[in-house]
A = this chain, B = another copy of it.
């Protein structure tokens, strides 16, 4: 008996799986080299989906790669959100974000590779960690914890410093990255206007979520 054509929920499920397979393949390509010159045909083969189904989901290759970076950034943001849930002090949230991001290199190497290759262009998007970091900065300004004239410039400094710190992990793999992350977190808090002694205490406190 021939397999019946999928209908209703089953159709939607298959459709979502096809899209996810394409996004997964694009994420792998971005993580491997950042080189997006592969053909749509090659990407569809890698995703193990038909060439024709590509255009049911994406308008162009650039559209797919944007979706792939967005997907990785959302996963990254979700990891950070989870570990920072319940942390309300903006200074602790910023320091925690730096420390969590550096450990991400070990637990989520694909995301970190994508950030190295594509992160700079996504610091100012309204998704992933960038949006969350901007909210933390604005909360810190509103509560008087931070002294920042222009939140988007603080976002530049946070986002760029974090990407450079992830790059440092590849340039100098012998460094102790938990210590490096805490050193960076302390400097980021001073940058945001937190007094030096408080910046030190927050950055060198317990790892986020470790006391739950």
Give the interface of A toward B (CB within 8 A): 35-37, 116, 119-121, 123-124, 147-150, 152-157, 159-165, 167-168, 171-172, 175, 180, 183-184, 186-188, 190-193, 196
**Copies of the chain in the assembly:** 2
- Closest residue of chain B to A189 (Cβ to Cβ) is B191
Task: Tell me, rounded to whole Å, the shortest Cβ–Cβ distance linking A5 to chain B.
Answer: 40
Which B residues are in CB contact (< 8 Å) with A186?
Answer: 149
Bound state CA distance, A171 and B130, in angstroms?
A: 13
Given contacts A123-B164, A157-B160, A157-B191, 12 further A-B contacts (CB under 8 A): A116-B120, A120-B167, A121-B167, A147-B196, A152-B172, A153-B184, A153-B187, A157-B161, A157-B188, A160-B167, A188-B191, A190-B191
**Contact status A150-B120, CB under 8 Å:** no
Bound state CA distance, A64 and B176, in angstroms?
A: 33
Task: Tell me, rounded to whole Å, the shortest Cβ–Cβ distance linking A161 to chain B.
Answer: 4
Q: Which of B35, B37, B148, B163 contacts A120 (CB 8 A)?
A: B163
**Contact status A183-B150, CB under 8 Å:** yes
- Closest residue of chain B to A168 (Cβ to Cβ) is B156
Task: Please list 17 pairs of residues, one from A and one from B, whose beta carbons are closer than 8 Å in the complex, sorted by A's number.
Answer: A119-B120, A120-B163, A123-B164, A123-B168, A123-B171, A147-B196, A148-B187, A152-B172, A152-B175, A157-B187, A160-B160, A160-B164, A160-B165, A163-B163, A163-B164, A191-B191, A193-B196
Bound state CA distance, A156 and B159, in angstroms?
A: 11
Which B residues are in CB contact (< 8 Å) with A161?
Answer: 156-157, 160-161
**Contact status A149-B183, CB under 8 Å:** yes
